[in-house]
Structure 1
Amino acid sequence: MKTFTNQALAVFAISSLVQAHPQGGFHSTSANPALVTKRKLYNLDQISDQDQKDKLTQGLKDAVTIAAKVLEKMDDSAHESKWEYWFGPKSDSESREKIRNVFKNFVGDNKDGTGADINGDVLVFPDDYWTPSKKEIGDGNTDGNTPFCSIDINGKTGTAYYKPTQDKKPGMHYCDKVWDRKNLKTLLEDNCKALGNHISTVLWTKQFIGANVLHEFMHYPKVGKKAVDELIRDYKYDAWQCRYMSSNSDKSPIDMKGRKWEELTIVNADTYVWYALDIAFEELCQKKFSGPRSEKDDDQTNQDWPDENIPGEK
């Protein structure tokens, strides 16, 4: 099965403090101008379902908690090897500072656990407003008319996306599957039993809405691009494939700049997620997890796509 084509990458925009509709136009976030204040949480005004709003609110707070733990512990000797493990050659001193700044941009002062003020510029929409073209997603029932969350590729569907509105406002949408995913407190219960013993896509990111929120914010230019000088995209997903990227010895050029897989780790969104979870869960659970393995046959239901597609793997 194919993964996203390189064109099927998150797209981005400038921010605003007005409420945008995906199809165009805008209205004030409040009837009272005195109540229009700078936000830290992303803008959930259009989410009318209170349970979903609560899930998304906690999801962002959990994502900030994970990222803040990374900033606190990333320089500890216990986590030194994780730089190269996840970022490969992009773990040199210059790259490390850029990676650090990605997390700093997202966390901000973090005085109340909601993260940087810039997070409040992102609008979250209840409607699945993106209808990708074949050029954007190179597989599945992609015809330019099917909403993202309804696209089926070998029985798998998407989770969420970051995409500007037609008004060029930064926007996100989360597919229905995320409402069944757990918060951080639940995952850490019973000595982190739910997380298993190895770094796991099935048990971690497919069960944790905070990880999904963190991934989407990596695409936000004020978080990612501001730190690494280019958009953070989706070259590979899941723990197994991200580890493949950082340790890949294939010297064939992958992108228009002639970069190899191992050189793209610093601009791959899920790499940041797995690096962050590796550090944070080890610290929060006070246990070490073994490395990721292929799990493509472990979860036959509710699978996220793109699924694993590693060259040479049978």
Structure 2
Amino acid sequence: MSLPNGTATMTPAPMGIRRLDPKEGKSSVQSLAKGLRVLEAFKPGIDEMTLSEIAAASGLDAGTTFRMLNTLVSAGYVVRIPESRRFRLSLKVLDLGFNAIAHKDLRDIVRPLLQTLVDEVSEAASFAVLEGGDVLYIERVRAGFTRLGVDIRIGTTIPAAVTSIGRAILAFLPEHRLERVLATPPRHPSLTLKTPDRPTLDPLLAALRRDGYVLEKSVITPDLRLLAVPVIGADGWATGAISVVAPWSQSSDEDLKSRALEPMLATAHHIARAQEAVGSTSSVPGL
């Protein structure tokens, strides 16, 4: 909009939508924020809208809204209704929400069980699932305030075949799913962690299937000893895995196994049963 003297003005933002502050430009991507405003313009009960309706609801001018819609259509988040000038959200947007809900459900289920495990074995523990070709850390509980080596955070992704916790999941997948995971490029390829080839990986997975656990030196932090077990669902396949780490110099393989293996197996069983109870056994991203 322009004033009679040619001075440009901003379209007023609808109530409930925060105006984009130009001062925030240095620390944010304004075009992304505008794209999100277009998505947020679709409210409950309003499944389809025209460009002008979306512009009015999002507080953006028509030209910006047109560019945002074209981008979102190309990315698959918005769909043009054939033979009309209307748009609607695609199921891809729903997938984002469902994935977030599924992960929140998993964290709500896992955290108290993981905390009980940490209280029992006095070592840090983690829970992870697969996401594409990576293992994604959903929850982590420390033992006290001590940080051990590289601090794995919630949301960290690592190529699945590289890590013990990832291989604990891979070993208990159907063959077609295993092939799919291994064929998926990792989100963040590591320059320092080498992904094992199949002749190296297959014996490791076979040993996991035989023993039901993996106990080895951490490839991420060599001064840590790591024990990992799968979480097995009702169908016999892994829905995730848990791991416990201990300082290499303060624990032997036999010590860590004797202290932690049985509690870990019990925790894995409880997580699997809890997943079944809330219908979350299928919430393994990327599969």
TM-score category, normalised to shorter length: under 0.3
Normalized per residue, the structure richer in helix is: 2
**Relative contact order: is structure 1 or structure 2 higher (C-alpha 8 Å, sep ≥ 6)?**
1
Normalized per residue, the structure richer in strand is: 2
